[in-house]
Amino acid sequence: MAAVSTVAATVIGTALALGLSRIKKPGILDLFVNLPIVVPDIIMAVALTMAFSVLRAFSSLFEMGFLTLIIGHVTFQISFVTLTVRSRLATMDKDMDLAARDLNAYFFFSFTRVTLPLLTPAIIAGAMLAFTLSLDDFIISFFTHGPDSVTLPIFIYASVKRGITPEIHALSTLMLIATVVLILLAERLATALTNRSRKAAKKGIREAAEKAAAIKEAMA
């Protein structure tokens, strides 16, 4: 479940960050992006529960279950992905994108060969942050899950109510080890991807320059 919501939140959050970066004064849009971060989880959970109860009057798809759980997680994950990608956009060298445009590179080429490689470390960092938050979330999951969609924190909570067993200790230890390993891997991956993204962006500009030169030779 965490993987599905993370993929959805990463795509939507990245697109939202790119859109907001092109708006000079986002205004109220910034408020909506930051709202899930500053609002307490319990308020978010109650608001989602009320929204789903209204939507159930129009469609049975919004019965508490896997779909509502994913929507609930994506709702707060988007903000973290958006802010992470926007921070990278704010510090990114825009001259590379302008150079590609000056060399007659069309938008898709400029985005996939220059902008996207530079954003890749931030996108992955935002995705890993969103995945960790989704995996660890309890309150929103508790209010939006159904009988067939139980997350790991809810499973642990239900098990602890019946008494702490050795399985719970083992599961908690595995989660701690997995978190530490993910942090170490993320740090190394971010460093490697940052260096690779710069090389990929420069390669994209060189390809655009070669295409521009070929066009000029053909027109001469």
Q: Which of the listed ranges 54-63, 94-103, 190-199 does the model predict with the highest average pLDDT?
A: 54-63
- pLDDT, tens only, 81-131: 998 888 888 877 666 666 666 666 666 667 777 778 778 888 888 888 888
Domains and CATH numbers, the chain: 2-219 (1.10.3720.10)
Nearest to 126 by CA among 2, 7, 1, 4: 7
Mean pLDDT of 179-194: 73
Q: What are phi and psi of 119, to 5 degrees?
A: -90, -15
Cα(129)–Cα(87) distance, integer angstroms: 14
Residue 199: predicted pLDDT: 63
Average pLDDT over residues 10-14: 92
Query: What pLDDT, on the 0 to 100 scale, is given for residue 98?
Result: 66
pLDDT at 78 over 90: yes
CA distance 84 to 105: 27
Structure tokens at 12: 């939507």
Letter for the amino acid at 89?
A: L
Structure tokens of 56? Answer: 């159930």
| CB contact at 8 A, 148 and 67 | no
What's 146-193 look like in SS3?
CCCCCCHHHHHHHHHHCCCCHHHHHHHHHHHHHHHHHHHHHHHHHHHH
**Own/partner long-range contacts of 148-152 (Cβ < 8 Å, ≥24 apart):** 148/65, 148/66, 149/1, 149/65, 149/66, 149/69, 151/1, 151/2, 151/69
- DSSP letter for 145, please: -
On average, the pLDDT of the chain sits at 79
Confidence of residue 8 (pLDDT cuts 50, 70, 90): very high
Task: Tell me how far apart the alpha carbons of residues 74 and 104 are, in angstroms, rounded to a whole number.
Answer: 37
Q: Any idea what DSSP says for residue 61?
A: G
Residue 11 confidence (pLDDT) = 92
- Span 14-37, pLDDT tens digits: 999 888 888 877 778 888 888 888
Structure confidence at residue 74 (pLDDT): 92
What pLDDT sits at residue 100? 63
